Amino acid sequence: MGGEDEGEYEHTPTARTLEARAVSAWFGDHKVLDRVSLEMPAGRVTALIGPSGCGKSTFLRILNRMHELVPSASLAGEVLLDGDDVYASGRRLTEVRARIGMVFQKPNPFPAMSIYDNVTSGLKLTGVRKSRDEQDEIVEYSLTRAGLWTEVRDRLKQPGGALSGGQQQRLCIARSLAVAPEVLLMDEPCSALDPTSTNRIEETIKELADEVTIVIVTHNMQQAARISDRCAFFLARAGSPGRIVEYGDTEAMFNAPQDQATYDYVNGRFG
Ligand SMILES: Nc1ncnc2c1ncn2[C@@H]1O[C@H](COP(=O)(O)OP(=O)(O)OP(=O)(O)O)[C@@H](O)[C@H]1O
Ligand SMILES: [Mg+2]
């Protein structure tokens, strides 16, 4: 790296395949997921669908090691990021969370912190020092990718909490992107938003997919059909733990599902 290149923010597209192998999960002795295996291919959008309580959020939280923060929680199985075991002993949690970002249902920016500082807040945790110029470039890049730049470029010093709900959610997406994640997990990211904001986020997701592997939980079947390449249908039958009933190309899942339960669910018969 020559000194003259410094300040050129090189964002390397690094989408990676994430793979869950036989993942089971418990809260205390309540088993909520049973041997879930799923490949979430690099650079694709994978949608997780299924009725309330079938373990979609739990599965998502296992993928970036947030599940273990719940005191009663335990798990079995493996999660591999580009072949690397996410749960390997000695692997740093901060590294896992930087490589596998998460966006939640309710936008959660730091409300009193400026828009600019919200975007850079994750960089400090990764321990990599950036010059002011580099940070400026990362902020512009991340906000642009999140579809928010033109709306906020003139007010980066204003607090994140002053934005609308949809803008706050795009700010949270920008905050995740700033650390150049390989995977972005999204748990019902549009369910608290109006249709216009939802459209914006959906466009953003489609544009991001070439550089970040996306895994999104949604209850909105139209949304799953619009934005995902692959779809996994989770179901917890009569008191038993959640499992994947069917997985495949979104097109096939919606138009020619193999399982009657998938057919009923995607056609709005239950859940
Ligand atoms: N912190 C927790 N402590 C105990 N049980 C929990 C906890 N979080 C979730 N569960 C239980 O685990 C099961 C799966 O919950 P989870 O939130 O993963 O479902 P979900 O598919 O995301 O549902 P929804 O669509 O409503 O968000 C449920 O039975 C739920 O009650
Ligand atoms: Mg959930």
* Confidence check: pLDDT of 61 > 80: yes
* pLDDT above 70 for 2: no
- CA separation (Å) from 246 to 38, 73, 97, 208, 217? 10, 26, 28, 26, 15
Distance separating alpha carbons of residues 69 and 113, to the nearest angstrom: 25
53 in contact with ligand 1, CB cutoff 6 A: yes
CA distance 62 to 194: 29
Which protein residue's CA is at the shortest distance from atom 24 of ligand 1? Answer: 52
> From the CA of 219, which ligand is nearest?
1
Strand order of the β-sheet with 18-27 is 30-40, 18-27, 73-81, 84-85
Half-sphere exposure of 120 (CA within 13 A, CB side): 21
For residue 48, the SS3 value is strand
32 CB under 6 A from ligand 1? yes
Whether the CB of 57 sits within 6 Å of ligand 1: yes
Domains in the chain with CATH codes? 14-108+182-266 (3.40.50.300)
Q: Provide the token pair at 172.
A: 């949270």
pTM attached to this predicted model: 0.93
Distance of CA 127 to the CA centre of its chain: 22
Q: Other C-beta atoms within 10 Å of 230: how many? A: 21
> 5-14, 98-107, 179-188: lowest mean pLDDT where?
5-14
* Residue nearest ligand 1's atom 6 by CA: 27
Report pLDDT for 125. 78
User: Is any ligand 1 atom within 6 A of the Cβ of residue 241?
Assistant: no
What pLDDT, in 10s, does the model give residues 129-184? Answer: 899 999 999 999 999 999 999 999 999 999 999 999 999 999 999 999 999 999 99
CB of 101 within 6 A of ligand 1: the answer is no
Of 227, 217, 216, residue with least CA distance to 254: 227
